[in-house]
Amino acid sequence: MNAFSQHDGNWQTKSRQLFLKGAEQLLRRFEGLIESYSLVGNTPFIEAQQFSWIKRLENNWHIIVQELDDILQYQDELPNFQDLSPDQYRLTQDDRWKTFFFYAFGVKAAQNCAHCPQTSQLIEAIPGMKTAFFSILLPHKHIPEHCGVFKGVIRYHLALKVPQPETQCRLRVADQIRHWQQGQGLVFDDRFPHEVWNDSNEVRVVLIVDVIRPLQFPVSVLNQTLIRLISWSPFVQDAKKLQNQWEQRLGAIMKSH
């Protein structure tokens, strides 16, 4: 690497760090408004009955599992979470947290969606859906405490594969602990510190969906604008490039079989 390319790389790194720092400050200031204008409260876990789209998703969970089973044939070839988001190396460094993305902050993973057309159709019908992916935890995987990116979205987990007994897998959000039940979902605010365990000898899989938090006007409009800006950020765009590479790699493997 010559001096010019090294200087350019350093400048890009510093620019990215400054951008992320400024964006972080903006998001944290805005979250005070979100708490005041939220239409679904500000508790760690949120009542699922407040979201009409959940019933349709849970009524069709077995369809999603059928397409998931096809994907799990290539489990070893799926990207680890940190492969798509290098910033997550602080959370996980091994190969026991696999992912299969459909959307990330509104950015579509077209090939992955094509592999699971019925799941994609169900996901795309969800009002305000921004992110959706299979989260696959291999046996004895622990995801340490962390917080989500932005309070302007809320997170839903649809349990697709849950080792028995259910108490072997758990989700802690703030000071509350829940266990997944197959075919059922949990809604929570991932800006609260949360942590996940799979203490079993089996694979645990949930479909994770992030949707825009219901807010009063005009904060609702500002929130949607900020989410759009996040989708244009280096954080998401870099992940999109990595996702495209993994999609092509997985697609080639699936075709060869």
| Buried/exposed code over 214-248 (b: 16+ C-beta within 10 A; e: otherwise) | bbeeebbebbeebbeebbebebbeebbeebeebbe
Bridge partners, residue 108, by sequence: 103
- The DSSP-derived string for 68-117 is HHHHHTTGGGSPBHHHH-GGGGGT--SS-EEEEEEEETTEE-HHHHHHSH
Distance (Å, whole) CA 136 – CA 139: 10
Q: What are the pLDDT digits (tens) for 175-232? A: 999 999 999 999 999 999 999 999 999 999 999 999 999 999 999 999 998 888 888 8
Task: Provide the pLDDT for residue 196.
Answer: 97
Residue carrying structure tokens 């019908």: 125
Burial label, 257 (beta-carbon count in 10 A; 0-12, 13-18, 19+): exposed
> If you average pLDDT over residues 125-152, what whole number do you get?
95
SS3 41: coil
pLDDT averaged over the chain?
A: 88
Task: Provide the pLDDT for residue 253.
Answer: 83
User: Is residue 5 over pLDDT 50?
Assistant: no
- Would you place residue 247 in the very low, low, confident or very high pLDDT band (cuts 50, 70, 90)? confident
Region of residue 174 (phi > 0: left; psi between -120 and 50: alpha; otherwise: beta): left
Task: Provide the pLDDT for residue 13.
Answer: 54
User: Is residue 249 over pLDDT 60?
Assistant: yes
The residue count of the chain comes to 257
Q: How far apart, in Å, are the Cα atoms of 124 and each of 17, 61, 136, 199, 243?
A: 33, 15, 21, 32, 19
Residue carrying structure tokens 């972080």: 24
With a pLDDT cut of 70, the percent of the chain lying above it is 89
SS3 24: helix
Region of residue 149 (phi > 0: left; psi between -120 and 50: alpha; otherwise: beta): alpha
